[in-house]
Structure 1
Amino acid sequence: MNQHRSVIRVTPASRILLAFLTITLWIPCSQAQPGHVLQHQIVYQHDGHFAGWPANNGIWNWGDEIVVGFTLGHYRKNPDGGHDIDRERPSTTRQARSRDGGVSWETEVPAFIDVNGRERATTQLTSAIDFSNPNLALRFRDDRFYASTDRCHTWSGPFQLPTFGRPELLARTDYIIESPQQVTAFVAASKDNGKEGQPLCIRTTNGGLTWNRVGWIGQQPPETYGYAIMPATVALGDRGYLSMIRRGGVFDGEKQWWLETWLSPDLGQSWYQLDQPRIENAGNPATLTRLKNGEIAMTYGWRLPPYGIRGKVSYDNGQSWSSEFVLTADGVSWDLGYPRTI
């Protein structure tokens, strides 16, 4: 099974690119209902290859020009039911670019990957990044971040991030630009015992030269089994954040996996768990996108039969959510999702 990407238009005023196993172009009119899929596009497909996990990499757009990052490896059926990627062979990072709103795609080697498929060594950022650059893209992965000022054609970095007192940082790309010098990022760190993980909010106020921890999102999960990772966040007004967190834990001796919602009213210093939405999707990260009409769109993988991608929309700044709608329900395996949207 190969993994691909997708484009979705949800209202006349708003467009979402949904990156998961496949690419779907969805363009409903004002009367159309969520889930009305009109076109389905493949971003990358090659026999014997495994390609996926855009949530681990990032997605960026400038009008109809879209770039999505993904992991490329070798396909191997996992006899234990895990990801169908060959862990004994090397994998690397690729990015795909569309210049027509997601209809056609070209695969590119990111500039931070060398001829052997390896990332450049980390370096120290010495000049502040201008976050107001209209062609800017930032990428976060583990304890590193990267910056592009030309729409992902070239990248500077990776630059080292602190681990904030934990053995490891487990960052993915989730950030909000707040001024020419300030970015707030939402990442995860390992637990004290080195296992994943606990989310936190970090911020730079000097163009990326230094980063400070603003606040932990929730309590550290149990050391035995339990994780809280892969935040997906939107801003609420001038001081608030809403974040969906991917969770795993044990209840009554049984492992469970779900999504839960956290709110910060004070720029990330303190966080409060909300009762809803809580989504029992068997362990797949969500993505949140603020639409041009002010609504918030949420999508997530569904790892229970029938496998696919589902979503919800909030019309009141996250206070309530629509009924769940199904975008796809034809996945051949649970191993799908990791969506990113624009």
Structure 2
Amino acid sequence: MTTKFYPPRTATDVEHAIVYRRENEFATHPYSRGFWETASGHLICNFSVARADYSGEPRRLAHHNLIKSPGGRRGVTVRSEDRGRTWHVFNEDKTRPGMDVKAPDPKLDGKPGPLNEMAPVDFTDRDVLVSNFYYQYMQEDPQLREFLPTVTTEFGPPENQVFFRISKDAGHSWSRSAMLPLDGLYSLSAVESSLVRPDGRCLLFLTGGVNKEGQHNRFPAGPEHGEPNRPLVYRSTEDGTTFHFLSFITPKDDPNFSGLQQMYPRGLMLPNGRMICTLRIDRDWAGDMWTELFKSDDGGRTWQFLSRATDFGAPGTPVLMSDGRLVLVYTYRLPPYGMRAVVSEDGGSTWGPEIIIRGDGGSWDIGYPRAWEVEPGRIGTIYHYNDKDDPVQVKPSGTLWGAGGVRYIARSIFSVD
């Protein structure tokens, strides 16, 4: 038996803490709402919150129903100035939707075209941050009823459009949002994933597809009208004020992906110039999902399969340690529910045995982590969670969505031996 198939082990020197918890709220999805590290080493994390009645009908705790809760789903930003040990709420504007870093202005936001007023943008400056997100799956959110008709009526896009904002002051303020061009795709979606190449070009890791006729405006969005959505890359222009399609990450018509969702691409640049991209491969969102890696040795122009990092467990967030090792932190949605990690010593080609960060989750509705190196040899991760011993326990009542306790934002710090 090779070492990578040794039994899972419990992480050493583990610390858990609550970052944000309110008994009448449902807090989730730091993975797809934005996470940044500034030049000073400060950390910024966004997540979504919604009003929730944990004593009421469990079906109302389904994510798609929370969008309709009083006030809709709104965004909260927390910051840490001590490498993720402690966090404070930085922005909880109640008019701000859950996918954006600020409340959109219908007079300014959402228009196509570049952010010319921000030129030039130096993405190698670590205080220059980029946010990329989308709204359209939240059209029933009361936070967006004023803004969305402005976008869809004026520009007539397909169902999903991606927007981006840029900050030049470490996330203290943000530009207006601009709409990415579709570049022949029928739809786009985003999960706040980007990296900066050594040449200063910024890459956005998105998901989208081309319809059967090759015309993005001939059919409504959705796999039933064309090819299944595929992870892809957009690259910034010379002045950094907009982005255009660069490449697809996974092969077209690959039988290995038949009937599977390829979701949540997240890119990372390795010291040798290779890029890796993690993907959530999804057969059943209640547990049967795993994390695969693709690689690019030509700046993101072409991609090849590199490895499958987990048997079960996704989405996974990669973090490069100062000693060169690669750590993948991921959600484990099968019993015992919790958070786990694996370590690679060869840039993601092979992976060691599982590390159990915690296994005390109250249901599969947990995770969506982001991760960072706290100090040499220690990794931090922030994610949403619910506890099996929470005094508030919601019974499923015919749906898995309601099981477990109050959904809150947690952080864990552990050592990688």
1:49 aligns with 2:25: yes
Cα 1:64/1:173, change in 2 over 3 Å: same
Cα 1:144/1:295, change in 2 over 3 Å: same
AA at the equivalent of 2:104: E
Structure 1 vs Structure 2: percent identity of aligned residues? 25
Note the C-alpha offset of 1:277: 2.3
Gaps of 5+ in 2: 1-8, 135-161, 212-220, 373-417
Cross-structure match for 1:199: 231
Note the C-alpha offset of 1:39: 2.3
1:241 aligns with 2:275: yes
1:135 aligns with 2:167: no
Cross-structure match for 1:18: none
1:88 aligns with 2:118: no
1:333 paired residue among 363, 374, 385: 363
More relative contact order, 1 or 2 (CA 8 Å, 6+ apart): 2
AA at the equivalent of 2:36: W
How many residue pairs get matched? 304
Where do 1:34-45 residues align within 5 Å? 35-45=11-21
Indicate if the aligned counterparts of 1:69 and 1:94 stay in contact, CA closer than 8 A.
yes
Cross-structure match for 1:5: none
TM-score by length of 2: 0.65
AA at the equivalent of 2:44: V
Note the C-alpha offset of 1:180: 6.9
1:79 paired residue among 59, 68, 83: 59
Query: Which whole-Å CA distance do the structure 1 matches of 2:104 and 2:332 have between them?
Result: 32
Note the C-alpha offset of 1:38: 3.5
Note the C-alpha offset of 1:111: 8.4
Cross-structure match for 2:86: 104
Deviations 1:264-310 (A, max 9, x none): 222222222234324323xx311111111111110110110111011
Query: Which whole-Å CA distance do the structure 2 matches of 1:214 and 1:256 have between them?
Result: 31
Q: Secondary structure at the match of 1:305?
A: coil
Query: Which whole-Å CA distance do the structure 1 matches of 2:281 and 2:210 have between them?
Result: 14
Cα 1:181/1:51, change in 2 over 3 Å: same
Cross-structure match for 2:246: 214
Note the C-alpha offset of 1:238: 5.2
Note the C-alpha offset of 1:216: 0.5
Note the C-alpha offset of 1:203: 0.9
1:163 aligns with 2:151: no
2:326 paired residue among 292, 296, 315: 296
TM-score by length of 1: 0.78
Indicate if the aligned counterparts of 1:170 and 1:190 stay in contact, CA closer than 8 A.
no
Q: Secondary structure at the match of 1:43?
A: strand
Cross-structure match for 1:59: 35
Query: Which whole-Å CA distance do the structure 2 matches of 1:37 and 1:57 have between them?
Result: 28
Indicate if the aligned counterparts of 1:147 and 1:156 stay in contact, CA closer than 8 A.
yes
Q: Secondary structure at the match of 1:171?
A: strand
Cross-structure match for 1:147: 166
Deviations 1:112-139 (A, max 9, x none): 9669984232244002312132322221
1:69 aligns with 2:49: no
Cross-structure match for 2:197: 178
Deviations 1:68-111 (A, max 9, x none): 01111122564398449623221111110122332332223278
Q: Please, which moves more after superposition, 145-154 or 77-86?
A: 77-86
Cross-structure match for 1:16: none
2:266 paired residue among 185, 209, 232: 232
Q: CA RMSD in A?
A: 3.1
Q: Please, which moves more after superposition, 137-146 or 100-109?
A: 100-109
Q: Secondary structure at the match of 1:166?
A: coil
Cα 1:52/1:87, change in 2 over 3 Å: same
Note the C-alpha offset of 1:237: 4.6
Cross-structure match for 1:324: 354
Deviations 1:176-196 (A, max 9, x none): 212574112221115635247
Cα 1:114/1:83, change in 2 over 3 Å: closer
Q: Secondary structure at the match of 1:103?
A: coil
Gaps of 5+ in 1: 1-32
Q: Please, which moves more after superposition, 80-89 or 172-181?
A: 80-89
1:277 aligns with 2:309: yes
Indicate if the aligned counterparts of 1:92 and 1:118 stay in contact, CA closer than 8 A.
no
Query: Which whole-Å CA distance do the structure 1 matches of 2:199 and 2:168 have between them?
Result: 13
